[in-house]
Amino acid sequence: MKRTLTGWTSAALHGRTTELACFGDYGVPLILFPTAGGDYLECERFLMIRVLRPLIEAGRLKVYACGTVTREAWMDAEAHPGHKAWIQGRWDRYLHDELIPYIQRDCGGYDQIWAAGASLGAFNAVLAATRTPGRLAGIVAMSGTYTMDRWMHGHTDSEYFFCQPMRFLPGLEGPALDALRSTKIVLASGQGRWEAPQETVDLARLLGSRGVDTHLELWGHDCDHDWPTWRSMLPLFLDKLLP
């Protein structure tokens, strides 16, 4: 299995150096977001790439594992709430203005890009699909956290509004909503230790109320908010979804 590491200085992130790991030669491109404190190689260390290897080696999947700013934004207890939303907004610009175009070029213009993630990686997958609909063909979001109010101490502004799908989706209309309705969305959660499945259920209900075809799966009480659950979920869903 081919493995390459790359990165660049991001204009969207004001000169920050970004990192990217790519696994595979060809196949449907999948952006894989890390969990809250993870980096771009987290998925390899926690054996997610190992369980995806059959799909990668069959030429059905090409994984692009990136980092995020979650640790510097939502998880930084000392950061001002406004800064948390601001830096998330800058990272979203990096995703849409730099990372997705890079993947399209690397895949010879292929634009049916998917995204996936677990925990706060699921949040990033959902935000990527909903904030700028039409850029992704589909997402798999596992054990997600979909509201950041608990970390904002009552602060809200326009930047934060557009970082929160639970806030802006009720008002999404027109071509943006049409584009979102053409996106395949899988939302999944276990119901074991450390899980909060109601957040997944609430998001699925909201998307459904907007006419977005959303597949919801709640796994059992023995499925914890942890890598064994996600290593079972993601290969299973992708095997059903990918050509």
Report the predicted TM-score, pTM, of the whole model to 2 decimal places: 0.96
Q: 127-181: per-residue pLDDT in tens?
A: 999 999 999 999 999 999 998 888 888 888 999 999 999 999 999 999 999 999 9
Percent of residues, the chain, with pLDDT higher than 90? 88
The predicted-structure confidence for 33-66, as pLDDT tens digits, reads as follows 999 989 999 999 999 999 999 999 999 999 999 9
Mean pLDDT across 66-76: 88
Which domains occur in the chain, in start order?
3-241 (3.40.50.1820)
What is the residue type of 26? Y
Buried b (16+ CB within 10 A) or exposed e, 31-43: bbbbbeebbbebb
Q: H or E stretch including 187?
A: strand 184-189
For residues 160 and 152, is the Cβ–Cβ distance under 8 A? yes
Q: How far apart are CA 25 and CA 217, in angstroms?
A: 31
Backbone angles phi, psi at 132, to 5 degrees: -130, 75
